Homo-oligomer: A and B are copies of this chain.
């Protein structure tokens, strides 16, 4: 059985996009629940400006006060050296760097060119040099940009190259606004796995246009085994407010488990937690299995 690693992004990617701040103690309780479910990584928070991202203003406190399961990598998004220092002081397992493949999107997102962003990465990586913190490099808009449109395979490969030059061997290809097709995923990931065999590649899909789970399978067909997902499918992009967001963790695990992949994730508890999250947020979330039940949940005739 192929082992697939499920990485939860709801506490950061999901909650960041909510209209309402989730109380710090609720956030910690939520992450503590997630820590027991067999997920291999949890993106806990982002060490960004509290003014820019109000919802994650409690980054230090959350990171310092969650219960740590030694089998889980507790990760945080970091945009600059200041964030890296805050993250290191908060004892993160992994720092997640992010640059957009699309220069236009990068300028919009962080006000810098992709080149300047990479210059910033150098000082972060230098600072982390003597620390036991894993570095992961994410590439936003890897499959398409809402301004520029489709992103060429060569553009993505060249950004991976830049990361590799800096010694970053954990790469995440993020489909920031849900523009990837399974064909594109298959083709791009084939090029990556053919060119580098020392990289750990994560795919981060959104289900904006219904292709999220199909994209995961296309990735698995190229040998990729690490996937981000968000409990209840929360998160999403501001460009399509009505559209659904990240692929849902419980829908992903449900599909993979019933296709005989091994995720090691407790599906029933994951579904229960998606329902708990819905209560916590006070609104419906996009997850489907939490509404329809598992395919093994039968009715009496």
Contact = CB atoms under 8 A, between A and B. Distances in A.
A248 B210 contact: yes
B214 A147 contact: no
B211 A243 contact: no
A149 interface: yes
A301 B104 contact: yes
A209 B149 contact: no
A52 interface: no
B181 A243 contact: no
Contacts of A295: 144, 150, 179, 181, 209
Nearest to A242: B291
Interface residues of A, number: 50
A210 B212 contact: yes
A251 B149 contact: no
Given A182-B217, A217-B214, A244-B288, A299 B239 contact: yes
B217 A288 contact: no
A181 B292 contact: no
B183 A288 contact: no
A160 to B, nearest CB: 22
A208 interface: yes
Contacts of A178: 292
A42 to B, nearest CB: 22
A263 to B, nearest CB: 14
A288 B255 contact: no
